[in-house]
């Protein structure tokens, strides 16, 4: 029998649960919401939050009695993101993709059960989408996340489904196992994934994974207000994205040869 490794400092794990929950929301949260979202008691959550406030990882609105992520995380996040080679390598091609499509382009990397935005190129159109670098999106309802997941064998995807609570963010979120597996097979055949208003109402995303030699380096996406989607425009975006992916993958193969 394999001996389970004893972790030191379980309070750090609980703090991470709180930070992960806060990073998954766009608005300040109450103590009750945070405790429930992080799977902790109110008293435990409050003790950890008080410490996180002192070191600047969390900011507290004393009047509203709500918490949100604090500014001290930014310097660590920026430092970590600068260490991702994929960001620098992909940037020129993502810029060209944004110019060709005119829509919002994101680059993300997998972090456990989420995709984290590490780069964003804004749309230059009058109506664009709100998002920010560092935002976490669940794999199961994001275009980039589903594109990365679909590259895994069925056994790993099924394990992910069993371990993950699928929240219904919109009426279009896929939350049942068989429809989700059908979605994985569709993505494998097409080579790209859609987030058709599954995470946010009226937002349509197309995602493609960036992998070579069975190693994933992240994914990129184009996000579009749903009302702008039509077949000719979708075809144009997919053509531009396929060219973008080909260029990034060629550079990755040159940088990380077998």
Q: What's the chain look like in SS3?
A: CCCCCCCCCHHHHHHHHHHHHHHCCCCCEEHHHHHHHHCCCHHHHHHHHHHHHHCCCEEEECCCCEEEECCHHHHHHHHHHHCCHHHHHHHHHHHHHHHHHCCEEEEEEEECCEEEEEEEECCCCCCCCCCCCCCEEEHHHCHHHHHHHCCCCHHHHHHHHHHCCCCCCCCCCCCCHHHHHHHHHHHHHHCCEEEECCCCCCEEEEEEEEEECCEEEEEEEEEEEHHHCCHHHHHHHHHHHHHHHHHHHHHHHHHCCC
Q: What is the dihedral of CA 18, 210, 148, 237, to 10 degrees?
A: 100
CA neighbours closer than 13 Å in the CB half-sphere of residue 102: 10
Q: Which CATH superfamily is domain 84-255 in?
A: GAF domain (3.30.450.40)
β-pairing, 29-30 vs 58-61, is: unpaired
Give the per-residue pLDDT at 258.
61
**pLDDT per residue as tens digits for the range 103-156:** 999 999 998 899 999 999 988 875 556 667 878 899 999 999 999 999 999 999
Domain 10-72 has CATH 1.10.10.10: yes
**pLDDT per residue as tens digits for the range 185-194:** 999 999 999 9
CA neighbours closer than 13 Å in the CB half-sphere of residue 36: 5
Q: How many CB atoms are closer than 10 A to CB 137?
A: 24
Mean pLDDT, the chain, whole residue set: 89
**CB of 181 closer than 8 Å to CB of 187:** no
pLDDT value at 83 more than 50: no
pLDDT level of residue 97 (50, 70, 90 thresholds): very high
Mean pLDDT of 16-38: 91
CA Rg value for the chain: 19
**CB of 27 closer than 8 Å to CB of 64:** no
Spell out the domain ranges in the chain: 10-72, 84-255
Alpha-carbon torsion (98, 91, 207, 120), positive or negative: negative
Q: What is the Cα–Cα distance from 223 to 204, expressed in whole angstroms?
A: 6
Whether the pTM exceeds 0.85: the reply is: no
pLDDT level of residue 2 (50, 70, 90 thresholds): very low
Give the per-residue pLDDT at 71.
82
Question: 119 φ, ψ to 5°?
Answer: -155, 145
CA neighbours closer than 13 Å in the CB half-sphere of residue 201: 2
**CB of 198 closer than 8 Å to CB of 170:** yes
**CB of 180 closer than 8 Å to CB of 140:** yes
pLDDT level of residue 30 (50, 70, 90 thresholds): very high
Question: 124 CB contacts (<8 Å, ≥6 apart)?
Answer: 102
């Amino acid at each position: 029998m394999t001996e389970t490794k004893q972790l030191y400092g379980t309070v750090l794990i609980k703090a991470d649960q709180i930070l992960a929950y806060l990073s998954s929301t766009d608005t300040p949260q109450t103590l009750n919401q945070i405790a429930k979202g992080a799977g902790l008691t109110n008293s435990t959550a409050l003790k950890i939050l008080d410490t996180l406030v002192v070191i600047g990882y969390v900011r507290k609105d004393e009047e509203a009695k709500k918490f949100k992520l604090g500014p001290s995380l930014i310097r660590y996040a920026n430092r970590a993101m600068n260490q991702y080679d994929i960001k620098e390598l992909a940037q020129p091609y993502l810029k060209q993709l944004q110019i060709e499509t005119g829509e919002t382009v994101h680059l993300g990397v997998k972090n456990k059960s989420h995709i984290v935005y590490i780069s964003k190129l804004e749309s230059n159109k009058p109506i664009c989408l709100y998002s920010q670098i560092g935002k976490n999106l669940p794999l199961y309802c994001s275009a980039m996340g589903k594109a990365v997941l679909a590259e895994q064998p069925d056994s790993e995807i099924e394990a992910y489904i069993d371990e993950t609570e699928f929240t219904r963010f919109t009426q279009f979120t896929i939350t049942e196992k068989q429809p989700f597996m059908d979605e994985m097979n569709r993505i494998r055949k097409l080579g790209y994934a859609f987030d058709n208003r599954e995470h946010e109402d009226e937002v349509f995303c197309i995602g493609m994974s960036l992998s070579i030699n069975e190693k994933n380096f992240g994914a990129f996406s184009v996000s579009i207000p749903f009302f702008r989607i039509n077949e000719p425009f979708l075809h144009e975006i997919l053509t531009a994205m396929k060219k973008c992916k080909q260029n990034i993958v060629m550079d990755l193969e040159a940088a990380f040869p077998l």
